[in-house]
Amino acid sequence: MIDPETLFERRQAYPNPNARERLNRLIGLDDHIAKLTKILGLLIHPRGLTEWGARYHPSADLLIDTVLHRPPLVILAGDVGSGKTELAETIGDAVARQEGIEVVLLPLSLSARGQGKVGEMTHLISGAFDYTLREAHRLNSAEARTPGSVILLVDEADALAQSRESEMHHEDRSGVNAFIRGIDRIANERVPAAVIMCTNRYTSLDPAVKRRTAEMLEFSRPDEDMRRLLLQPRLSALGFHQSEIDEIVGATGARNGQIGFTFSDLTQRLIPTIVLDAYPHRAIEAARAIEIAQEMKPTPAFNEA
C-alpha cells in the first residue's frame, strides 16, 4: 500500500473557518462559487438530491437518476492567476455547509508523476484513486459520526491527463489510462466523491477526460468592473479620490497592446508594491500609486501552443 503522504500535499477537512475566509476574499467569482457549490453538492452528496426529489418531485425518479449518473469530474480551466486553484482549495467549505456534511479535500501531489520508471506513474495514480475510494466509503459508512464525502484535487491537470493523441512516452500514456480508469471507478461504485481538475491548457487534455466532465467552468482575467470591485475599498481607505482610483483601474486593464492584469497581479503584486514603495517612512500617495500601476507589466498569458 502506498503511503498517502507521498500522494497528497496535505489533507483538509471542511467546514473550516480559514477556508471560508479565503473563499469570501475571492472577488468577481460569485457565479462560479454558486455554480460549483451546487454541482459538487450533487456529485458528492447524492442523498441530498434524492431527498429533494422525494419532497418536490416524487414522480420524477428517472430525472433524478439521470442527474445522479453525471460523471464525478469538474474542470476549472482558464488563464493563469484567475483564481482557479484558490477556489478549488476552498470550495469544500461551502459544499460542507450547504449539505451539512463533512468534506475532505485530497490535493494530489505532482510527485504522483513519479520518476519515469516503468509502471511507477500508473501505480501512483491508481494508489491515489484507491485511497480516495477507501476514504469515501469510510466517510459514508454506518460507523461515521456524520455523513462525509471526498474531493480529489488535481492541479496542473494537463501534467497528468495530457491527450494521448499527442506524442508522449509510454509511461505517460499508461498514467492517463490509469487516471481515466480512476474516474470511471468513482462513477461505477457510486461513492460520495468527485474530482476537481485545474488547468491552464484545457485543449491539451485527453478527449476521454473531457467526455467524462460533468461541468467545465472557464476563468478569465478580471474586467473593469471586477478590478474596480477589488481595488475600490482598498484604495478609498487611503483617501484616494474616485478619479485616481479610476486611473489605476484603467491602467490595470488591456492597454498598449497588452492584456490586462490577473487577479493575482492585483493582489500579490500591485497592492504590495504600492505599500512597499511608501513603507516605512511616508504615506502612500495617489500619484505614485498610479505611476506604479502604469509601469507594472501584467503576467503574460499562458501559451497553449
Three-state SS across 192-226?
CEEEEEEECCHHHECHHHHHCCCEEEEECCCCHHH
Q: What DSSP state is assigned to residue 157?
A: G
* pLDDT per residue of the chain (305 residues) written in tens, 0 to 9: 567 777 888 899 999 999 999 999 999 999 999 999 999 999 999 888 999 999 999 999 999 999 888 999 999 999 889 999 999 999 999 999 999 999 999 999 866 555 555 457 788 889 999 999 999 999 888 777 778 999 999 998 887 777 676 666 666 788 889 999 999 999 999 899 999 999 998 989 999 999 999 999 999 999 999 999 999 999 999 999 999 999 999 999 998 888 999 999 999 999 999 999 999 999 999 999 999 999 999 999 876 54
131 CB neighbour count, 10 Å cutoff: 19
pTM here is: 0.89
CA–CA dist 99, 245 (Å, integer): 40
**CATH architecture of the domain formed by 4-219:** 3-Layer(aba) Sandwich (3.40)
List all residues 6 or more positions away from 210 whose beta carbon is below 8 Å from its beta carbon.
75, 216
- Of 228, 263, 226, residue with least CA distance to 244: 228
Name the strand (E) or helix (H) holding 125.
helix 120-139
List all residues 6 or more positions away from 51 whose beta carbon is below 8 Å from its beta carbon.
none
List all residues 6 or more positions away from 206 whose beta carbon is below 8 Å from its beta carbon.
161, 162, 163, 164, 165, 176, 180
Kindly state the cell numbers that stand for 194.
Answer: 468527485
Whose grid coordinates read 514603495?
Answer: 277
Beta bridge partners of 218: 77
List all residues 6 or more positions away from 192 whose beta carbon is below 8 Å from its beta carbon.
44, 45, 46, 136, 139, 140, 147, 148, 149, 150
Query: Which residue ranges does the chain devote to CATH 3.40.50.300?
Result: 4-219
CA–CA dist 151, 45 (Å, integer): 11
